[in-house]
Amino acid sequence: MIQRTESQQRKSVCFISETGRVERPLQDPSVRYRCYHPAELLIKAGHYCSIVSAPKFYDSPSLDSDVHVFHRPNMARPGFADVIRLLRKQGKPVIADYDDLIFGTPEIALESSAVKNGTLTPDKAIAAFSSNLAGLREFDTVTTSTEPLADKVREFNPGARVLVVPNIVPPSILSVQRGFETHLRTRSSTTIGYFAGTKSHDRDFPVVEAALHRVLAENSNLSLLVVGPVVVPRAIASLPNVSTAPVVNYLRLPSLMAMCSTVIAPLEMSAFNACKSRVKFLEAALSGCRLVASPIPDMQAIGSNHLTLADNSDDWYEALSAIPDASKRRELAIRNVDFLQENMKIDGLMKFGEL
């Protein structure tokens, strides 16, 4: 068997992300999960990694890295096509990575949360999805955060090799929170949390609104904590056992979430949301919370041994009315943290990057 030297085994990987957080991409949750977290595992394996926003990268492209991962590549970015061509000429792996359905037909664009919540006008969304689709078609290898998203890639770029690289919690975060025993922290068994990092969930709250209002109105001992910029429906906000708080830094999230026994992740069922990932489960597991979620495929893949899925209003009402006892919550918390440890893998990225 041929033995490779240490220098041959180590490679450099550059992550380039289309993010609005140009100067500090770490502040973008998407970049954190798709670039920083995998990079940590690669560094642990002995590789070298750099992470840069697309505007910074194309302003002064450096093509010295062995592998380039383009997170959410966009054909409209000046210099993009030239960089891909040069990297291919050098024989270096180029990988496109996606964690949301941001490409496709005008019909798909109009289903996106950006349009439904007014973040983008229909015309701008259609243009963005078209440009992202053109970017996707420049790649022969693609990684995605979920299987439905991989299916969409295969639909629009049938010649590409596609592998799913699920979102993970990296060692630096898991070991710290495990050391603090955040998941085992004593907390009120009657506090429900809804943690929305962005305004894009405004259309998702109505999924749980009726059941949540009924549960909170019938049980004055239950309370709801809503964290983030999501608009709370008036009927919910007017209840005396509801409180709100602004979004917090990612590293502070587990300690705040650990105030809750149950957290919810309602999603409007659509082709766009079907492609979303398990991030809400990862955060709940890290904090020791039971998660009640809409049954998107990536949540279903985790399994009912780790979370509760709610298909309709009756399911939401039943799940939120049930108050798990302390021993069962502890068992679930331990089981879920073990899941985070066991699923700390980026095999698809390692394979495509020849790492």
Percent of the chain with pLDDT over 70: 96
Residues 160, 204 within the same domain = no
In a domain? residue 351: no
Place of tokens 């766009």: 272
| Percent with pLDDT over 90 in the chain | 86
Same domain, 149 and 208: no
Shared domain check, 65 and 31: yes
Number of separate domains in the chain: 2
Contact 168, 296 (CB under 8 A): no
pLDDT range class, residue 7, cuts 50, 70, 90: very low
Whether the Cβ atoms of residue 64 and residue 56 lie closer than 8 Å to each other: no
When pLDDT is averaged across residues 118-138 and rounded to a whole number, the result is 95
Q: What is the pLDDT of residues 236-263, one digit of tens each?
A: 999 999 999 998 889 999 999 999 999 9
Q: Are 178 and 325 within one domain? A: yes
- For the segment 283-287, the average pLDDT, to the nearest whole number, is 97
Does residue 154 sit in the same domain as residue 196? no
Q: Do 123 and 184 fall within a single domain?
A: no
- Among 208-212, 214-218, 268-272, whose mean pLDDT is lowest? 268-272
* Res. 286 pLDDT band, cuts 50 70 90: very high
Of 164, 188, 209, which residue sits at a domain end?
Answer: 164
Q: Give the residue from 164, 197, 223 where a domain finishes.
A: 164
Q: Residue 116 has what pLDDT?
A: 84
Given a cut of 80, whether residue 199 has pLDDT beyond it is no
pLDDT at 123 > cutoff 80: yes
CA quadruple 274, 279, 280, 285: dihedral, nearest 10? 130
pLDDT band at 4 (very low <50, low <70, confident <90, very high): very low
List the single range of 112-126, 193-207, 285-299, 322-336 with lowest mean pLDDT.
193-207
Residue 355, in any domain of the structure: no
Residue 118 lies in a domain: yes
Considering the domain architecture, whether residues 237 and 258 belong to the same structural domain is answered as yes
Please, which pLDDT band fits residue 8 given cuts at 50, 70 and 90?
low
Residue 353 lies inside a defined structural domain of this protein: no
E-strand spans in 24-92? 48-53, 67-71
Question: Could you report the per-residue pLDDT of 53-71, keeping only the tens digit for each?
Answer: 999 999 999 999 999 999 9
Whether 118 and 194 map to the same domain: the answer is no
Is the confidence at residue 2, as pLDDT, over 70? no
Say yes or no: 13 and 89 in one domain: yes
Q: What is the mean pLDDT of residues 188-198?
A: 88
Domain that holds residue 265: 171-342
In a domain, 233, yes or no: yes
* Whether residue 3 has pLDDT greater than 70: no
Residues 301, 332: Cα–Cα separation, whole Å: 17
Which amino acid is residue 270, in one-letter code? S
pTM of the model: 0.93
Q: In the listed set 148, 164, 180, which residue is the last one of a domain according to the structure?
A: 164
Same domain, 216 and 251: yes
Instruction: Tell me: do 46 and 140 sit in the same domain.
Output: yes
Is 70 exceeded by the pLDDT of residue 133?
yes
| Structure confidence at residue 114 as a pLDDT band (50, 70, 90) | confident
Q: Is residue 350 part of a domain?
A: no
Looking at the structure, tell me whether residues 130 and 219 fall in a common domain: no
> CA-to-CA distance for 141 and 163, rounded, in angstroms?
8
